[in-house]
A and B are shown apart, each in its own frame.
Chain A
Amino acid sequence: MIAPLDIDLETWRTALAEGSFEDVSDALEAVVARLELGQLRLEDSLLCYELGVRLAERSEQILASAELRVSRLSPTGETVEGWDHDDEPFHE
């Protein structure tokens, strides 16, 4: 009872290459779930495993290199990168 690889390899590989943390995290969860379901050809199990490991590494990489993005709204409604203390706050 070996099922064909009924998973979206394409999506997962895309997530690995260019996805946000959420995309990578969701893909990793999907890979784990499929692998745990079992009934894969051995080669496909190995494929999923490798993909899972790489997704986990990528997710950790994103977290490690993340920097809080801080910006500020000016009264004219534009967001300004960084934060300049001298800029005017809102008023009526």
Chain B
Amino acid sequence: MPAQLVPVGILAAYVRDVLERDPILADIWVEGEVSNVFRAQSGHVYFTLKDSDAQLKCVLFKAQAARQLSLPESGQQTAVHGNISLYPRDGAIQLYADVIQPAGVGLLALQFEQLRQRLEADGLFDPSRKRALPPRPHAIGVVTSPDGAVWHDIQNVLRRRYPLVEVILAPTAVQGDAAPAAMAAALDAIQDVDRVDVVILARGGGSAEDLAAFNDEYVARMVFACRVPIVAGVGHETDWTIVDWVADLRAPTPSAAAELCVPNIADLRLRTEDALDRVTLALNTAISTATIALETRQHRLRRADPTQRLAAERLVLSIRRRRLLQRQSDVMRYRRAGLLAQAGLLRALEPHGVLRRGYAVVCDNITGEPILSSSRINSGDIVTAQFADGSVTAAVVSTAP
């Protein structure tokens, strides 16, 4: 007889607990061939991992699936990270997956990928959290090894480009088991120096193992929490570490990191020269403006001078007088010409024979104009009688009617 009768449900729950409490099964990397991949409408991905001896059901929930660089592919040899549990509903043991990594990659790379995803989810890579570097830093903190070319190169770059700055080394091991803790301590200490306004975290090129400290989670979180902007200059251009993603700025090499932190003294010199040119130009402009203003005032003054005006007005006056006299003499000439013309006219009428026939024309004594009516003449008037061969001046005795 059984000692105790256990319902299936209770047993399933118990098995599940046992599985979930086991430390190995709670955090495990499993390798096998993928088959039976099924993508549900919910977004969850169900598949099987198998080898020649066994097979294991796996599920990759939608949230985790979204973070993967690649999804499980049938026939592909794959490493899957997750935890083992029992799904009571169908009594199946399953691997609840959170990282999918096609095979052919070492364990280091697998752990790297796992950490990368976790830190990304925690927001350590968030672009909006990245800070701008100060344009003219006062002091640069450098966290790197005191030995080797890196510290040397950084100093050279700074000396050449921007000797105005101060640079402070926080020396530390950059590889080996003790490196992560040492780097964290150095980062902590360099931030404490108030005048430091930017930090460079650097190391030279090396193998993946050599760079391991820069993939350390604690170091990454220290970099994220740094008081001032931090520039990562790790290894060569193609080397990417977790720290490269977390830093405010990533440089391809340590020397490049130093360059990015400071302005170039050559540019500063150019700006000073430019300022000098502008100041000279501005002064020349000011001088010409003042000169023009002065000349204008002088000109206006000359034009307003009273003696000048007097001479000008006298001149105008004399011109006017001359013109007036000219006009008067012209008028006289025209009148005389008029008179002569009329006298001429009179004589010109002669061919019509009036005077030749013995008639005389009575004219005004002064104007010479013919008097055409007796009503125009009064007794006592002096008139001129014009004959064909001469004229007679006569006094009027009487008129009729």
Contact = CB atoms under 8 A, between A and B. Distances in A.
The finding on whether chains A and B are genuine partners in a shared complex, rather than unrelated, reads yes
Interface of A: 21-22, 25, 28-29, 31-32, 35-36, 38, 40, 42, 45-46, 48-49, 52-53, 56, 59-60, 62-63, 66-73, 75, 77, 79, 83, 85, 87-92
Nearest to A65: B163
Contacts of A48: 279, 283
Contact of A90 (B185, B272, B285): B185
A45 B286 contact: yes
A36 B190 contact: no
A38 B285 contact: yes
B173 A91 contact: yes
B337 interface: no
Contact of A92 (B155, B159, B185, B268): B185
A67 B271 CA distance: 20
Contacts of B173: 89-91
Contacts of B163: 66-68
Nearest to B181: A92
Given A35-B283, A79-B168, A60 B181 contact: no
B172 interface: yes
Contacts, number: 133
A70 B155 contact: yes
B317 interface: no
B136 A22 contact: yes
A63 B186 contact: no
Given A63-B269, A89-B171, A35 B158 contact: no
Given A79-B193, A91-B173, A92-B181, A71 B286 contact: no
Given A22-B136, A73-B193, A91 B289 contact: no
B331 interface: no
B177 to A, nearest CB: 10
Contacts of A42: 286-287, 290
B339 to A, nearest CB: 71
A79 B142 CA distance: 13
User: Interface size bucket, B side?
Assistant: 35 or more
Interface in B216-274: 265, 268-269, 271-273
Contacts of B178: 91-92
A63 B267 CA distance: 11
Contacts of B159: 68
B166 A90 contact: no
17 contacts: A25-B268, A25-B271, A45-B286, A53-B279, A56-B273, A59-B272, A63-B265, A68-B167, A70-B155, A70-B167, A70-B169, A72-B170, A73-B193, A85-B146, A89-B171, A89-B173, A90-B183
A91 B146 CA distance: 13
B172 A90 contact: yes
Contacts of A72: 146, 168-171
Interface of B: 136, 141, 145-146, 155, 158-159, 163-173, 178, 181-183, 185-186, 189-190, 192-193, 265, 268-269, 271-273, 275-276, 278-280, 282-283, 285-287, 289-290
B155 A52 contact: no
Contacts of A92: 178, 181-182, 185
A88 to B, nearest CB: 8
Contacts of A66: 163-164, 265
Contact of B286 (A40, A85, A87, A90): A40
Contact of B169 (A29, A45, A73): A73
Contact of A71 (B158, B166, B183, B282): B166
Contacts of B189: 73, 75, 77, 90
A59 B273 CA distance: 10
A52 B244 CA distance: 44
Given A38-B289, A70-B155, A91-B173, A60 B283 contact: no
Nearest to B186: A90
A9 B184 CA distance: 49
Contacts of A88: 171
B279 A49 contact: yes
A77 B265 CA distance: 31
Contacts of B158: 68
B282 A46 contact: no
Given A35-B283, A70-B155, A73-B170, 20 more contacts: A21-B268, A35-B279, A36-B282, A38-B289, A42-B287, A42-B290, A48-B279, A53-B276, A63-B265, A63-B268, A68-B167, A71-B169, A73-B168, A73-B186, A75-B185, A77-B189, A87-B146, A90-B171, A90-B189, A91-B172
